[in-house]
Amino acid sequence: MEDVLLSYLQSRKRPTSGDAAGNKAVEPASWTAPASLAAPVADPFVKPSLPYPLSALFTLVDSHEEYPGSCKALGEFLKKLCGQHPLENVLLQTLQTRFPRVWMERFLFILLEVQATDWQTAAYALQFRHLKRLLLRVERKKPLNAVESGLARELINALSLSRFQDFEPFCRHAAETFKAMQAGRIPVSGDLGLLVYLIRSECAAMGERKNWLENDLATGEPDTVARLSPHLKLLEDRMHKAQELAQRLGSYGPIQDGPMGLEDAMGPFFFNHLKECLGKLPSLAGLKQALELQQSKRVPTRDLIALSTLSRWLMEARGAPAGPLEWVRMALESYDRGHFRLDVAGGLPAVEALLTEARVEREGTLVLGNFGENPYSSWIARDGLTRPYRSSNPDRIAPDLKSLVLGNLHRDNIIMKMLDNPKVYGTPGLIEAIVEGSRSALVHNKIATRRELHAGSVNGRVPVALLRSQVSISNSLLRCLIHPSIIPFSEMKTLYRGRSALRHEVVEELHTFLKQAYAL
């Protein structure tokens, strides 16, 4: 099998002699070529033409959804290959095969996946931005909702605050307590209690900020939702990490450095074996260096993608023959515990568009940034990869409607607004997918109430999905749905025969209707 693969790779490298008309063929440029050369021509038959294990690896990366899950799947896949295929050959073939640039970027970010560690989570949470914003609104007598009023009242009473400036000493004290724990000192219970209380309060304030962003959405237009979703996802991730940190600190747990995703998925033995395999071939030295840099620095995946965009623009502005691996290595080398320092000499005019979008400091040609203060969201494209060179719009890719809707299923406010959009209820199967995936009674009730959401040729299967769902809706809506004009008698009988999987109230309504119609 290895011979077949090598012959395939060699045939891909050979320039073709010419076409039937005698015209000389031109070998398409690689994505590692300088920016001045022509753009690569993607091979539409790359997947079916690959032998195993490259075909399986291509499929794994191509079906990527979330980096942690994909990294775990990649680790398990590489473990299975051990003993069957030399890992160094598989990875060398992966780098040499002319895969699309997008695929290679995904592969590298999956391979180097790392979640935010405790000190990175604390770097943002201990700024207490959302609590300070809340208390400042109280001092300026701005209107608050019920939850915000309750949180502000509880915080003011617990800390005996009389003005906004009184909160700052508590913030400094909490940050000093965390630094002492980082240094290995055991804190006084009162200091630890203050730290945990303020982190949990900050999480609650972040939650209210997230709700405000969702409610402030004017319409359910896909473009608007697609621009807002990354910000909501970032807030949710930070809330989740901060809550985990508060829980661990409250039980006197240690401050942890999160493991590298691939190392955690493969285990120390197989991970060390992978590193040994990377050291066997000089052609894999760059990949080995990137893996070791990530293992030592633990750069969160999101930060790595954003910083790789800056590296990409800089290298392409310089005309360097570099690809995704070189961009990622430059990003890793310039990162240090939440900060980055990068010399942009030779590419400053081109990268100025990126630098003006974010908060960075300048020291001549040196650019310095802090991910704890600025997430650099605009440096990440909508597809979760680096932003193309000289692209003025990070959201250049039109959002996939189904992926966008299903990615927001847990956000009721957004789904409720998107249900009003004709693009959503005019897409076959999308409303049915919402019913099957959502666990919100509000969403189900709206779908059962609005006829355009559960009727017609496009949404004809939605009423059956509502009856099969485990989310309860009112009996009056159930009775409206259980009618021959909406659900055929044959479908009702099929549902009733399989009534063990239905909710009790659905079975009762079906039984009552079918009995009255003399169908039982």
Cα 482 to Cα 451, 469, 487, 506, 509, distances in angstroms: 14, 14, 6, 9, 8
Is the pLDDT assigned to residue 419 strictly greater than 70?
Answer: yes
Q: Residue 32 domain-assigned?
A: no
Residue 147, domain extent: 118-250
Per-residue pLDDT reduced to its tens digit, 495-515: 999 999 999 999 999 999 998
Say whether both 123 and 224 belong to one domain.
yes
Calculate the average pLDDT of the chain: 87
Say whether both 222 and 154 belong to one domain.
yes
Say whether both 498 and 405 belong to one domain.
yes
Say whether both 394 and 407 belong to one domain.
no
Confidence of residue 217 (pLDDT cuts 50, 70, 90): confident
**What is the pTM (predicted TM-score) of this model?**
0.80
Per-residue pLDDT reduced to its tens digit, 224-263: 898 899 889 999 999 999 999 999 999 888 888 777 999 9
Q: Residue 100 domain-assigned?
A: no
CA–CA dist 211, 206 (Å, integer): 9
Give the number of other CB atoms < 10 A from CB of residue 417: 21
Say whether both 394 and 405 belong to one domain.
no
The closest alpha carbon to 422, from 458, 462, 466, 448, belongs to 458
Per-residue pLDDT reduced to its tens digit, 35-75: 333 333 444 445 557 889 999 999 999 998 899 999 999 99
CA–CA dist 355, 104 (Å, integer): 26
**What is the DSSP code string of 76-124?**
HHHHHHTTTS-HHHHHHHHHHS---HHHHHHHHHHHT-----HHHHHHH
Q: Residue 359 domain-assigned?
A: yes
Say whether both 376 and 416 belong to one domain.
no
Q: Residue 507 domain-assigned?
A: yes
Domains in the chain, number: 3
